[in-house]
C-alpha cells in the first residue's frame, strides 16, 4: 500500500490528445443506487481513491474490492481495508483483464461514487466503440435478426443516440444509464461476433442533422408505419417523421403470427392503470381524440364519474399498459349501456418513432444498405463520420462531419431539439398488466 498524487477521476483522465473519436469515454451507470457492490478481476484489482479532505490518493492492491455507503454522508467505504473515500477508481491489476461488478464483466474501468439515500453508484468508464459492443446485441438480437446491414443501422443509431445524450445524468455522475430508459448495456458478457462486426464496420459513423448526432429513437415493430416524434415524445425534430414501412410485415408475421394483439380491460383496470396520471373516479368511457399520421392514438380522453383525464403521446400506451398505441377500441356494454369491458385490438410493439427494427431487418433482407435504412427512417439526415476528439472529448472538425460542442441537453438545445425521452429496441417481452411499468425481461427483443 502507498500514497500517490491525487488523480483526476473521470473521462478526462482516460482521454489522450487528438484521440480517435471511437475512444471517447462514455460514463455508464451500471449499478445505480445500490447498497453494496463487489468488484473483482483475474489477478486482482487496483483501487485508487480520494480520502475525505486529503490532497493525495490512496492506492490499494486487492484480490477484490467491496464497497458500501459510509455512515458519513458523501463517502463510500472500502470494506477490505476500512478506508473511507469520497470516490474510488478501480482498474484490473493486469492490463489484459476485465473487471466484473457482482459477476458481470465490463471493459474499461469502474468508478464508485456515493449516491443519495445512503447508497452507492458504480460507473463504467468505457470507450465509445466498446460500449456499443455491449449495447447492440441487446437492442437487436443477432440470433433472431442476423442481417448485417440492419445490425449496422442499429449500431449507428445507438452511437448517434448516446452521443446526443452525453451528460443527461451528469448530476448523478454519469452520462447514460444501462437500462431501457436509455439503451440496454450489459458489458462484455453480451457481445456477439455479428454485432461486433456491425460496430467495427461502422466505427465512428453517426446519423446527423445539421452536423450534430440525432436523437435516434428506434422501435421494435411499427405496424406498417412509424409516427411523428412530436406526437409521441413532443420532440419536433424534423427528421422524426412518420414513414411507411412496407418491409416490416413479412418479418413481423414470421416472428409473431397474425401480427396483432388484444387487451381486454374492465373500467376498474383502467382506473388503476391511469392512477399515476390522475384520478377520475369510476371510469365511464375511453375516447380517442386525436390520431397521428400512422393511425396511432396520440391523444385519449378518460371519462369518469369525478372528471376526465387527457393522456397524450407515450402516456396513452404506458397509461393503459399496452404494447403500442396503434389500436382500435371497442366496448362491451351491459343492458343499460354501461361499459363492462374495453376491448383494445392493435398491432406493433413499441413507441413507433424512428427506426423500425423489424422493418430495418426486412429492408436489409431485400438488399438495402445500412445508410439507406437510416435515411428511410430518419428523414433528411446525413450519415457521416466523427472526426478526432480533443482531450476534453469534443469532436474537432467541420460541422458536416459530426462536430460536437457540448453534451447532453446543451448539445440538443443548441440544435433546437428537446431532449429525447427514451430509446426503443428489440427484445421479446410480454405486454405488462394494466398499470405496470414496461420493464421487459432479458431475451432477444425489447419492445420499446
For residue 406, is pLDDT > 50? no
* 126 and 138 fall within a common domain: no
Last residue of a domain, one of 74, 108, 130: 130
Distance of CA 252 to the CA centre of its chain: 23
For residue 366, is pLDDT > 60? yes
For residue 397, is pLDDT > 80? no
For residue 404, is pLDDT > 60? no
Who has greater pLDDT, 405 or 34?
Answer: 34
Last residue of a domain, one of 77, 107, 130: 130
What is the number of other CB atoms lying within 10 angstroms of the CB of residue 433? 12
* 311 and 331 fall within a common domain: yes
Secondary structure string (H, E, C) spanning the chain: CEEEECCCCCHHHHCCCCECHHHCEEEEEEEEEECCEEEEEEEEEEEEEEECCCCEEEEEEEEEEEEEECCCCCCEEECCCCEEEEEEEEEECCCCCCEEECCEEECCEEEEEEECCCEEEEEEEEEHHHHHHCCHHHHECCCCCCCHHHHHHHHHHHHHHHHHCCCCCHHHCCCEECCCCCCCCCHHHHCCHHHHHHHHHCCCEEEEECCEECCCCEECECCCECECHHHHHCCCCCCCCCCECCCHHHHHHHHCCCCEEEEEECHHHHHHHHHHCCCCCCEEEEEEEEECCCCCEEEEEEEECCEEEEEECHHHHHHHCCCCCCEEEEEEECCCCCEEEEEEEEECECCCECEEHHHHHHHHHCCCCHHHHHHHHCCCCEEEECCCECCCCCECCCHHHCCCCCCHHHHHHHCCCCCCCCCCCECCCCCCCCCCCCCCCCCCCCCC
Who has greater pLDDT, 412 or 389?
Answer: 389
Residue 88 lies in a domain: yes
* 48 and 61 fall within a common domain: yes
* 160 and 65 fall within a common domain: no
Please give the residue range of the domain that contains residue 33.
2-130
Residue 259 — very low, low, confident or very high, per pLDDT cuts 50/70/90?
Answer: low
Residue 72 lies in a domain: yes
Residue 244 lies in a domain: no
* 362 and 219 fall within a common domain: yes
In this predicted structure, which of 116-125, 202-211, 320-329, 426-435 has the lowest mean pLDDT? Answer: 426-435
* 155 and 218 fall within a common domain: yes
What is the pLDDT at residue 2?
A: 39
Number of domains in the chain: 3
Compute the mean pLDDT over every residue in the chain, rounded to the nearest whole number.
84
What is the pLDDT at residue 260?
A: 87
* 125 and 138 fall within a common domain: no
Last residue of a domain, one of 69, 96, 130: 130
Residue 343 lies in a domain: yes
In this predicted structure, which of 276-285, 376-385, 433-442 has the lowest mean pLDDT? Answer: 433-442
Residue 21 — very low, low, confident or very high, per pLDDT cuts 50/70/90?
Answer: low
422/235 Cα distance (integer angstroms): 11
Residue 14 — very low, low, confident or very high, per pLDDT cuts 50/70/90?
Answer: very low
For residue 264, is pLDDT > 90? yes
* 110 and 10 fall within a common domain: yes
Residue 339 lies in a domain: yes
What is the pLDDT at residue 254?
A: 56
Distances from the Cα of 247 to the Cα of 145, 358, 359, 365, angstroms: 14, 8, 5, 9
Residue 438 lies in a domain: no
* 161 and 78 fall within a common domain: no
Which is it for the CA torsion 129, 132, 137, 140, positive or negative?
A: negative
331/336 Cα distance (integer angstroms): 13
Residue 238 lies in a domain: no
* 7 and 120 fall within a common domain: yes
Residue 116 lies in a domain: yes
What is the pLDDT at residue 117?
A: 93
* 219 and 363 fall within a common domain: yes
What is the pLDDT at residue 189?
A: 95
In this predicted structure, which of 1-5, 130-134, 165-169, 336-340 has the lowest mean pLDDT? Answer: 1-5
pLDDT tens digit sequence for 199-221: 999 999 999 999 999 999 999 99
* 388 and 307 fall within a common domain: no
pTM of the model: 0.82
Amino acid at each position: 500500500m502507498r500514497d500517490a498524487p491525487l488523480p483526476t477521476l473521470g473521462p478526462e483522465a482516460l482521454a489522450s490528445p487528438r484521440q480517435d473519436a471511437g475512444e471517447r469515454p462514455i460514463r455508464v451507470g451500471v449499478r445505480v443506487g445500490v447498497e453494496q457492490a463487489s468488484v473483482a478481476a483475474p489477478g486482482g484489482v487496483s483501487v485508487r481513491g480520494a480520502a475525505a479532505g486529503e490532497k493525495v490518493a490512496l492506492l490499494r492492491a486487492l484480490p477484490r474490492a467491496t464497497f458500501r455507503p459510509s455512515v458519513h454522508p458523501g463517502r463510500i467505504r472500502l470494506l477490505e481495508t476500512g478506508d473511507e473515500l469520497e470516490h474510488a477508481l478501480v482498474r484490473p491489476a493486469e492490463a489484459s483483464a476485465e473487471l466484473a461488478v457482482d459477476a458481470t464483466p465490463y471493459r474499461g474501468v469502474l468508478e464508485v461514487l456515493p449516491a443519495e439515500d445512503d447508497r452507492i453508484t458504480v460507473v463504467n468508464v468505457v470507450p465509445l466503440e466498446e460500449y456499443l459492443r455491449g449495447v447492440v446485441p441487446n437492442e437487436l438480437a443477432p440470433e433472431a435478426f442476423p442481417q448485417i446491414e440492419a445490425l449496422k443501422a442499429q449500431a449507428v443509431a445507438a452511437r448517434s443516440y448516446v452521443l446526443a445524450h452525453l451528460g443527461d445524468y451528469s448530476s448523478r455522475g454519469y452520462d447514460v444509464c444501462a437500462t431501457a430508459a436509455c439503451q440496454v448495456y450489459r458489458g462484455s458478457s453480451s457481445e456477439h461476433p455479428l454485432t461486433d462486426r456491425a460496430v467495427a464496420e461502422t466505427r465512428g459513423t453517426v446519423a446527423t442533422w445539421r452536423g450534430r448526432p440525432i436523437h435516434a429513437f428506434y422501435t421494435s415493430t411499427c405496424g406498417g408505419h412509424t409516427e411523428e416524434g412530436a406526437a409521441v415524445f413532443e420532440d419536433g425534430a424534423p427528421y422524426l417523421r412518420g414513414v411507411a414501412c412496407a418491409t416490416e410485415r413479412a418479418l413481423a408475421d414470421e416472428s409473431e403470427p397474425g401480427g396483432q394483439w388484444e387487451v381486454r380491460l374492465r373500467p376498474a383496470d383502467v382506473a388503476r392503470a391511469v392512477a399515476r396520471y390522475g384520478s377520475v373516479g369510476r371510469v365511464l368511457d375511453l375516447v380517442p381524440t386525436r390520431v397521428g399520421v400512422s393511425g396511432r392514438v396520440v391523444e385519449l380522453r378518460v371519462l369518469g364519474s369525478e372528471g376526465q383525464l387527457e393522456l397524450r403521446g407515450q402516456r396513452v400506451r404506458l397509461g393503459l399498459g399496452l404494447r403500442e398505441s396503434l389500436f382500435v377500441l371497442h366496448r362491451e356494454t351491459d343492458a343499460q349501456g354501461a361499459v363492462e369491458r374495453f376491448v383494445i385490438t392493435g398491432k406493433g410493439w413499441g413507441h413507433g418513432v424512428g427506426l423500425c427494427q423489424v422493418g430495418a431487418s426486412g429492408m436489409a433482407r431485400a438488399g438495402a444498405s445500412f445508410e439507406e435504412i437510416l435515411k428511410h427512417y430518419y428523414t433528411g439526415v446525413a450519415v457521416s463520420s466523427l472526426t478526432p476528439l480533443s482531450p476534453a472529448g469534443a469532436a474537432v472538425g467541420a460541422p458536416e462531419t459530426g462536430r460536437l460542442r457540448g453534451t447532453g441537453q446543451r448539445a440538443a438545445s443548441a440544435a433546437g431539439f428537446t431532449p429525447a425521452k427514451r430509446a426503443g429496441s428489440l427484445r421479446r417481452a410480454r405486454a405488462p398488466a394494466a398499470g405496470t411499468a414496461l420493464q421487459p425481461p432479458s431475451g432477444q427483443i425489447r419492445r420499446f
